[in-house]
Chains A and B, each alone.
Chain A
Amino acid sequence: MQKLKERSVNRKTGKSQNGNGEPAGPGAAKGKKMGEIVIRTEGFNFYYGDEIAIKSVTMDIYKNKVTGIIGPSGCGKSTFLRSLNRMNDVIDGTRIEGKVEIDGQDIYAPGVDVVSLRRKVGMVFQKSNPFPKTIFENVAYGLRINGVKDRAYISDKVEASLKGAALWKEVKDRLNDSAFDLSGGQQQRLCIARALAIEPEVILMDEPASALDPTATLKIEELIEELKNDYTIAIVTHNMQQAARISDYTAFFMLGELVEYDETSKMFTNPGKKITEDYITGRFG
């Protein structure tokens, strides 16, 4: 796929240990070098009013890897994901404790520009949510609101993004049709294209394929495989096979806690905890 932008690589290589000496990421315990950390949470708590939804999660997410997030319904996967681009801010009465750092910068620090954070950390929602505009305008939306006026640039970018989302071939002759004319799977890839257009570093995906049929799901999975060359991806999924297929690392959440986090191959063959094994093998959840 076409590389959308050469990003300047100027990020702190975070350490894999946090303050408490707890393992922050998969390789930490073994002291293995895991690659560059893009997102790191430290003792992160999240509250809806008085209800705690995320409990003391310390976790590193690595550059150009796919990190799968699994766990039973209501365990806080979506909440956690939405904390990473502060989409939870729009919900009244929410509160956090602890830290989320992206590229070494605390995103909850006072004075952080949420708008530019969200440009950097894109998001694809569980239910595809194309806007009631044309296919072209959907992809161009992020550019337009960011003040891009140059029409040639916009149309190049739309094409590149649609190619990046493996949708270009299917829609290149109907860019001015309504986005609602697309199939469910195409709509979801359109939403991915829309996120790509503003050149994020990280893409958060909340069960992007849960409403799709197997063929469309496969397409999205192939796409994710492609995208990780250029982006860091965190993806919530309910589908164990999917997590096993597409993710490099898997994080298992339960009741708001990060139970286990490791390389996917290890998590699915030789999990460290009995409860992880029970969940992965479908004994509950």
Chain B
Amino acid sequence: MNKKNIEQNAGITVLFLCLGTVALILVVILWDIFTKGAGKISWAFLTQMPKNGMTEGGIFPAIIGTFLVTLMTALFAVPLGMGCAIYLNEYARDNRFTRLIRMSIRNLSGVPSIVYGLFGVVLFVQLMRIGTCILSAGMTLGLMTLPWTITASEEALKNVPQAYRSGALALGATKWQSIRTNVLPYAIPGMLTGTILGLARAAGETAPILFTGAAFFLPFLPESLFDQFMALPYHLYIMATQHHDIEGVRPIAYGTALVLIVLVFSMNLFAIILRYKLRKVRKE
């Protein structure tokens, strides 16, 4: 073997090791959670309230809380994000101002989630006096998701061929008619795909809900948007670090982690399937 070949093989080996390490870490984490958490999963675990100082019972309120707060996030971020994207892509002129806005939106997606959490406390809980509740937490998560929704939605709008717009305009459509009937129907699935990915991320976040509405423990389910709630990621955090009997409740923590992971994975999977279906439709 000559020198070049040795170099080449060494290079490939190093790169493969990098990939292998990453894959191994992922597999180990998933394996650990799955093997230790699977035993805990049962109908009772999914549908019961925690009991005896959260050392027994299920995680039902945390599942419901995460569901509700994610729904709230979607209700807040989806219309607002899509509206922004439609305005930016269809109406706004391309000038320094809109470029600045776009850049800011992109940068917002890199802001640490704890910063959103603190911002949510100041804005929703204190300034707007909504209090710590599902609404505040959902809107805080919504703010965090907005950059994702806007960026994904703009991308989806860009993918709609310009000819659909000009074709409609040339037939005497107003701009809004052309958008409503000839752009949005083809962009919305793509918009949703990106949005779901953003929501999946939001569903697993702890920091933004920590001060804005998530509760350590509640003996009852929330009854309105103005109630506090329990949530899977926060519950996991408590069980893993704050509980008085950490060792004892470890299985519950693993079970919670598994439920959370399955939830986030299935949201991502749904988005991927949606995107795949879309690609197929577009090719036809």
Contacts and interface: CB of A to CB of B under 8 A. Distances in A.
Interface of A: 85, 87, 90, 92, 115-116, 118-119, 122-123, 125, 127, 129, 131-132, 141-142, 144-146, 178, 180, 191, 194-195, 198
Interface string B169-209: 11111100100011000100000000000000000000000
Contacts of A144: 181
B94 interface: yes
A87 to B, nearest CB: 6
A178 B284 contact: yes
Nearest to B177: A145
B171 A118 contact: yes
B167 interface: yes
A135 to B, nearest CB: 15
Contacts of A129: 161, 163-164, 166-167
Interface string B98-128: 0000000000000000000000000000000
A115 B170 CA distance: 8
Contacts of B244: none
Given A123-B170, A131-B167, 10 more contacts: A85-B170, A90-B165, A92-B93, A125-B166, A127-B163, A131-B168, A141-B168, A141-B181, A146-B172, A194-B171
B53 to A, nearest CB: 58
A69 to B, nearest CB: 17
A145 B186 contact: no
Contacts of A131: 164, 167-168, 182
24 contacts: A87-B166, A90-B166, A92-B93, A92-B94, A115-B172, A118-B169, A118-B171, A122-B170, A123-B170, A125-B163, A125-B170, A129-B161, A129-B164, A129-B166, A129-B167, A131-B167, A131-B182, A132-B164, A145-B171, A146-B172, A178-B284, A194-B167, A198-B171, A198-B172
Identify whether the interface residues of B are mostly helix, strand, loop, or mixed: helix
Contacts of A142: 171-173
B186 A141 contact: no
A201 to B, nearest CB: 13
A98 B5 CA distance: 70
A146 B169 CA distance: 12
Nearest to A127: B163
A125 B94 CA distance: 25
Nearest to A141: B171
Contacts of A116: 172
A191 to B, nearest CB: 8
B173 A115 contact: yes
Contacts of B164: 129, 131-132
A33 to B, nearest CB: 33
Nearest to B170: A123
B162 to A, nearest CB: 9
A145 B172 CA distance: 8
Contact of A87 (B169, B177, B186): B169
Contacts of B163: 125, 127, 129
Contacts of A90: 165-166, 169
Contacts of A125: 163, 166-167, 170
Nearest to A93: B93
A83 to B, nearest CB: 13
Nearest to A178: B284
* Centre residue among B164, B168, B172 by max chain A CB count within 10 A: B172
Nearest to A138: B167
A118 B175 CA distance: 12
B170 A87 contact: yes
Contacts of B173: 115, 142, 145
Nearest to B171: A142
Contacts of A122: 170-171
Contacts of A92: 93-94
Contacts of B94: 92
A195 B93 contact: no
* Centre residue among B165, B167, B169, B171 by max chain A CB count within 10 A: B171
A198 B172 CA distance: 9
Contacts of A194: 167, 171
Contacts of A191: 167
Contacts of B165: 90
B166 to A, nearest CB: 7
* Centre residue among B173, B177, B181 by max chain A CB count within 10 A: B173
A181 B172 CA distance: 26
A142 B93 CA distance: 27
Contacts of B177: 145
A276 B68 CA distance: 73
A195 B165 CA distance: 15
A240 B54 CA distance: 85
Nearest to A122: B170
Contacts of A119: 171-172
A198 B165 CA distance: 17
A219 B157 CA distance: 35
Given A92-B94, A145-B181, A195 B171 contact: yes
* Centre residue among A123, A127, A145, A146 by max chain B CB count within 10 A: A145
A156 to B, nearest CB: 18
